[in-house]
Every structure is written in C-alpha cells, then in structure tokens.
Amino acid sequence: MAQLRIALAQTNPVVGDLGGNADRLVEWTRRAAERDAHLVVFTEMFLTGYPVEDLVLRSSFVDASIATLDAVARRLADEGLGEIPVVTGYVDRADLEPRVGQPKGAPLDAVAVLYGGRVVTRSAKHHLPNYGVFDEYRYFVRGDRLPVVRVRGVDVAVAVCEDLWQDGGPVSAVARAGAGLLVVPNASPYEVEKDDVRLELVGRRAREAGCALAYVNQVGGQDELVFDGDSIVVDASGELVARASQFKEELLVTDLDLPLGAGEPGEFPVDALDGTVITVERLELAGGPVEPYAPEPPTVAPRLDDLAEIYHALVLGVRDYVAKNGFRSVILGLSGGIDSALAATIASDAVGPERVNVVLMPSRYSSDHSVGDAEELVRRQGVTARTVPIADIVSAFEKEIDLHGLAAENLQARVRGMLLMSLSNEHGHLVLTTGNKSELATGYSTLYGDSAGGFAPIKDVPKTLVWELSKWRNAQGPDDFFRLRAAEPPIPENSITKEPSAELRPDQRDTDSLPPYDVLDRLLDDYVEKDMGAPELVAAGHDTELVSRIIRLVDLAEYKRRQYPPGPKITPKNFGRDRRLPITNRWRETTAR
C-alpha cells in the first residue's frame, strides 16, 4: 500500500475567461502544494468554463483552449509547481475528417494531465449526455481512451463526468486496468435532492471499479445553471471518506491508503461493454511512493437541508450572474407582496443590501398595508429605496388611449416595467423580475411589464415554495454565505401571511382566477415536471375541469415564457433549457381519449 494526498479543487471558473481560469489553476495548485498534496484535480472543462455551448464550434475558441493548456503547463513548472501532477478539463479537437452530422471541428470535452511543464496525456469524455439541459451531441465527438498515470506509486485513472453516470465506457475499464484510484472531473448542475443521487452513484461505481473514487464538481452560477460543488471521495467499498461543502469554493484535501501499481507503461485495448473499445494508456510519472506520514483528518462537510440548498442555489445564481456580467447593482419593484419580498431578500444576500435598489410604485389600487409592508422591508434590510407613484402616469396614458378590463390592468404593470428599465438605463442597474414559477406556468405575467428585466431570481420557484423559503429565511441567524445582516427577520410577517393579490383592480385576489396555490402547484408539478397528459392527470386525482382549464393556460402562455429573462434552475424541469415546446402548436390535451 502507498499513501497519496489528493486535492480536489472545487472551483468557480468563468465561461470564456481562459486567462483568468488559468490564473485560478495556478493559484489553487499553489494552495494544494502548500498542503503537500501529491495530485490536484480540477473540474470538467475548467480552463474554458462550462457549458460553453456554441463557442466550441469556433475554431478560434478551440485553438485558444489548447494553447492555454500548453501555456499553463509550462507556467506551473516556471513557478515551481511542475512536480505536482494536475488534472484539468479543457476543450480539444479530434483528428477526424468532416462529415454530415458531426459537430463542426470535432470538438472534445477533454481532460489532460499536466506534469513537468508539459501535457503528459490527453483524453476526452466518452458518454455524451443529450437530455435535460445537456446538448452534447450537438457540440462534441466522443473520446475512447482511459489514461492511467502512476503518481507516487499509485495508478490513477481519469474519466469525465457523464462517463461515471452511464454504464460501459472508460469506467468499465478501470478495474481491468488495475487502477488504485479513479478521479472524475465534473460539471454537474444542481437540482433538488441531487446530492443523494450522486453519493449513491459514486459509491456504486467505486465498488464496480474496485478502487477509491474522487469526484470533483464545479461550483458557481452560469446563466440558468447553478453548480453546487458537493465533491466526494469514497473508498473502494463505496464508503464515504470526505465531502466538500455545497455552493462554496473549497480545496478538499484527503489522504488515502491505496494499492501500489503493478502494470507496465504502454497501451492496450479493453472491451467497454457498450459496443466500443477503450484504449487504456499507462504512464509512469517521476517519483516513487512517499515516506509514511501522519494523515490529515478527513473533512466531511455537513449537508444542507432541502430548503437551505434551494435558497443557497438561488443566492449563488444571482450573485454570479451579477458578478460575472459586470453589474455593480440591481434594481427591482417592491410591492409589499411575498414574491418581491423574497426576490429582494435573495438579492441582498447575494450582493449586499447596499447594492440593492428597490422602487415602490403604488397605484390607485395599492392597499395601505402593501405600501407599509414594502417600507418595513426597506427598513429591515437597509436597501436603497425610492417611491414613484404611478397613478398620474397611468392616467396620462388613459387620456390618450381607451383601455378596459385586462388591458387596463396590464397598463399598470407596463408602466412599472418602463420605470424600472428607465432607471436601469440611467444608472446601470440589473433589473430583477419577481415572478414565480406558478405565475409563469399559467401566464400570469405581463409582457413588457412585470416580465421586463435581465434576471429572474425566483423564476423556477413555485408559489408554495416561495412561502416556505420566506419562512425559512426569516428563521435563519447569521450565515457566512449571506451578505444581509438584518437584526430582525428580513421579510415582514404580513408579506408572508396576507392573501396574495396583484392589486391591479379593486379588491383583487389571486384566487379570483386561480385555484388555491397548493392545489395549483401539485397539478403544475405533474403536468410540467412529470409531463403527464390530461388522462394521467385525472387518473392521478386532479379535478377534471381544473385539469382542462390549467392545461389551457399553461399551453397558451408558451410565447410569454419564451420572452422571460433567465433565472436559476432548481427543479428537474425549469422553463428554459429543460422544457422546449413549440409556440405555434395546435395540439391540445383532452381528459378522455
């Protein structure tokens, strides 16, 4: 047996920032060296960020990725870090003739081992996910190699993300390659309860491979996606050894006792059990087994509960969208209702209340308690607020154009949207919309009104969950993840307990046109998340008439959702990358066939 200290760099790369990501790689490798690590593992496509989408179809981008990899290998050596093997993801290309159906330039979701100032081996993801948010058949061709590098006497195999999730491929060859450790760089997005799925998967693959397994995952927000970290190390029996925090950058350093490698350097083919052949490539790096040393105690970070996970994901999604896109501040409309209250609180926790601007825009129908609740939130959180009454502005429109009913109600929302966009234009704020998933599903948003903005913090949060998250956040004490330090609960209790209303006409209530939200959200979950058709919904116990009415609302609102800003994805199927339906569509669900 041999001792090996591995460092998993659970980091937050920026898509397209190759130079900045290379700087991070050097910085985190130095941190690992200061802790006497023998191997450092970065995440999937770390040098380019993930996902890069159509950037991989540009030869200039792929060229820059390859050049950055070579340059950072030399830089590590120049800065005295060349004797630490580094595993990192990047974008490469395969040497294939162009053909119809193959991504332009044959890009590879690649991984490399850097050592001694050079790239000692390269490989690429074999299994390409093409479900949910992933479109990798569009972007990549698959790899067919399993690198096994001997590090301090231990044979370390390297596979990439989806290769762990699918049967066959490189992971199926690990046991036959005789590896003592399998390291897997990942960019696995967050969704509710995914951490338990990952731990079970990692443990099962370790048992199948007959070796310890280190799973390192990206952290941070990228447009709609949020990556939660949660990097994991298990032993050969699948038992948890170490685990990193969720939603935070972290260097997870773990000592392992692993078998000495015995195979000779060279290449040999292995049946991958999926109809393909994987070439195992063995390499031996300089340096034999280390002298015995006292291991560090392993770190197992505590798990967050479901509501804490979701809230942290929303905060991180907003924080990184603001930071990575260069915004200095945000602005949103504050009505006194629960949706805008939660959105403002998430924003304050994400960027700090001093960078959050809210606008109170009471109309002739706004209740005194709504205005009072909004003012109370401002007092508690210390955000920057201004009041712009809209009654006279709306009246000026009404003098020039005769509007009634819904059109008149929507005019108020559009005036508010125009004011927010104008203030954004003047001061450079990012406008945050405040609509929740239940509203988006049923079309209860006004185009160019409350849907106007640049980012949507609670876009993927059903209304019932909005209340749950608000109560959860009010119950929290100081947290180093949050930047809001309210001395009292940040959301006024009345915003949580009062009956929801858009307040666009006298005595309006959401239940005037929608069922109670607990009933609605259960139906929407079955229709949107689970893709049940109308007969299945009725069979599941939903009211027949309600099924027909809600399905019609959801289907007719597709054009609105297509124009809604992006927002953090937290559910298995968000309105965005996950759920893609035609706008022009005459298919209608019926409750009986």
Mean of per-residue pLDDT scores for the chain:
92
Residue predicted with more confidence, 478 or 246: 246
Mean pLDDT on 261-276:
87
Rounded CA-CA distance 361/343 in Å is: 16
pLDDT at 362 (0 to 100): 87
Residue predicted with more confidence, 285 or 503: 285
Confidence of residue 476 (pLDDT cuts 50, 70, 90): very high
Mean pLDDT on 473-486:
89
- Ranking 379-388, 399-408, 467-476 by mean pLDDT, the lowest is 399-408
Give the neighbor-by-neighbor strand order of the sheet with 86-93: 118-124, 107-115, 86-93, 39-41, 2-10, 250-258
Q: Is the pLDDT of residue 500 over 80?
A: no
Mean pLDDT on 273-289:
88
pLDDT at 477 (0 to 100): 85
The single residue listed with the structure tokens 């009654």 is 391
Q: Is the pLDDT of residue 282 over 60?
A: yes
Q: Do 566 and 226 meet the contact criterion of CB atoms below 8 Å apart? A: no
Rounded CA-CA distance 214/41 in Å is: 9
| CA angle at 455 for the pair 357 and 480, rounded to the nearest 5° | 65
Instruction: Give 125-182 pLDDT, tens digit per residue.
Output: 998 888 778 888 788 999 999 999 999 999 999 999 998 998 888 898 998 899 999 9
pLDDT at 408 (0 to 100): 87
Instruction: Give 16-52 pLDDT, tens digit per residue.
Output: 999 999 999 999 999 999 999 999 999 999 999 999 9
Which residue stretches of 149-212 are H helix?
162-165, 174-177, 194-209
pLDDT at 508 (0 to 100): 61
DSSP H or E stretch at residue 408: helix 405-427
Mean pLDDT on 382-396:
93
pLDDT at 300 (0 to 100): 96
Mean pLDDT on 369-376:
88
Instruction: List active site positions.
Output: 44, 125, 161
Q: Do 350 and 322 meet the contact criterion of CB atoms below 8 Å apart? A: yes
Here the tokens at position 512 are 């005037």
Residue predicted with more confidence, 462 or 581: 462
Residue 198, classed as helix, strand or coil, is helix
CA dist 297 → 5, 197, 233, 344, 563 (Å):
11, 25, 13, 40, 51
Q: Is the pLDDT of residue 499 over 90?
A: no
pLDDT at 102 (0 to 100): 87
Rounded CA-CA distance 425/88 in Å is: 40
Q: Is the pLDDT of residue 503 over 60?
A: no
Give residue 473's identity as a one-letter amino acid code.
R
Rounded CA-CA distance 466/437 in Å is: 9
Burial class (CB in 10 A: 0-12, 13-18, 19+), 387: middle
Q: Do 10 and 219 meet the contact criterion of CB atoms below 8 Å apart? A: yes
Q: Is the pLDDT of residue 8 over 70?
A: yes
User: What DSSP assignment string belongs to 120-156?
Assistant: EEEEE-SS---STT--HHHH-PPP-EEEEEEETTEEE
User: What DSSP assignment string belongs to 463-494?
Assistant: HHHHHHHHHHHHT----TT-----SS-SS-HH
Confidence of residue 510 (pLDDT cuts 50, 70, 90): low
Mean pLDDT on 458-468:
96
Is the preceding omega at residue 185 within 30 degrees of 0, hence cis?
A: no
Mean pLDDT on 380-387:
96
pLDDT at 578 (0 to 100): 82
Q: Is the pLDDT of residue 482 over 80?
A: yes
Quick count: other Cβ atoms within 10 Å of Cβ 153? 20
Quick count: other Cβ atoms within 10 Å of Cβ 379? 13
User: What DSSP assignment string belongs to 505-549?
Assistant: STT--GGGTS--HHHHHHHHIIIIIS---HHHHHHTT--HHHHHH
Measured on CA atoms in the order 410, 411, 412, 414, is the torsion positive or negative?
positive
The single residue listed with the structure tokens 């959860």 is 472
pLDDT at 347 (0 to 100): 98
